[in-house]
Amino acid sequence: MTHDYEGAKAFYGGVFGYSYDEIGDDSFTYSTGKRAGGDEVVAGLGVMGSEVPVGMPPQWTTYFNVADTDATVARAVELGATIQSQPFDSPFGRMAVIQGPQGELFSVMQSPPPST
């Protein structure tokens, strides 16, 4: 997430050779990044919204693809994590934000089933 969307796309495209697909809409600006010549999405880039405090620097969030978001969240809590955002459904899958016992933040995402 960044305040300089086009600059970030240019930078990461130059460093990693990403091509981008715009997937946002009128409510948010976001694109997915693919490696040069590939079809697999390996990154995402978006604009920090108005809910982000002024002066917060750009940041990456690590997403782990999981088979079952709710089960993963329950297991993480058993192991000492706290939940920063309860599981929720999005057009991109079921997600949650977790804080590990050392203070690290990450997200888990259960991809939606493939379209038939």
On whether the 61-116 domain is CATH 3.10.180.10, my answer is: yes
Counting beta carbons within 10 angstroms of the beta carbon of residue 45, is it exposed (0 to 12), middle (13 to 18) or buried (19 or more)? buried
Per-residue pLDDT at 116 exceeds 80: no
53-89, pLDDT tens digit by residue? Answer: 778 888 888 999 999 999 999 999 999 999 999 999 9
The per-residue DSSP string of 17-52 comes to: --EEEE--BTTB-EEEEE-TT--SEEEEEEB--TTS
Domain limits, the chain: 1-56, 61-116
Helix, strand, coil fractions of the chain, as percent rounded to 5: 20, 40, 45
83-114, pLDDT tens digit by residue? Answer: 999 999 987 889 999 999 999 999 999 988 77
